Amino acid sequence: MSKEQLKQAQQFIEAIPHAKALGMEITEISDGIAQLEMDYDARFVGDSETGVISGGAVSALMDTCCGAAVMSHPDVAGATATIDLRIDYMRGATPGERVIARAEVYHLTRTVAFVRAKSYDNDRANPVATATGAFTAEKKA
């Protein structure tokens, strides 16, 4: 993965208004794998009692990360859309810490990309959430 590729990918992410609003940063992109990160922000909190980030904000990060993984796949042509996404929440992300999502396309058919993702904060041994989803894809002829 070259610096140039990463810069292009970051420009792509920033062209998505919702990803830009959440301050998403792409830190890895290659052949069906993507890593996206998001800083803690008081506006993203889902429970003011605890200060834990909303599950919805983590979903947005994982959804974008899965989409980026699909588009980075060498056999996929053009854009993608989410068909279905299931998120399992293992624990609340620690308030103040950056959330990192990593997604991989584990299977590609002519029309569908099957994707898995995991999210972490500083504690890399305990994921915050995992996701599995199906995304629309057009396989290159």
Partner 1 sequence: MSRPRPEPVQVVKQRRDAALTALAHSIPYCEFLGIQFERRGDELTGIMTFQESNIGNPMLPALHGGATAAFLEIASLIGLSWSTLWEDMESGVLSLDELEQGHLPRLPKTIDFTVDYLRSGLPRDAYARARVNRSGRRYASVHVEAWQDRRDKLFAQATGHFLMPAPMGS
List contacts with partner 1 (CB under 8 A): 15-22, 42-49, 54-57, 59-64, 67, 79, 81-89, 92
Query: Which tokens sit at 127?
Result: 């994921």
- As a whole number of angstroms, the distance between CA 133 and CA 101 comes to 14
Instruction: Between 1 and 83, name the residue whose CB sits nearer to partner 1.
Output: 83
Output the smallest distance, CB 118 to partner 1, in A.
14
Output the smallest distance, CB 106 to partner 1, in A.
18
CB 64 within 8 A of CB 24: yes
Output the smallest distance, CB 68 to partner 1, in A.
12
Instruction: Between 29 and 58, name the residue whose CB sits nearer to partner 1.
Output: 58
Which DSSP letter does residue 93 get? P
Helices and strands (DSSP H and E) totals, the chain: 3, 10
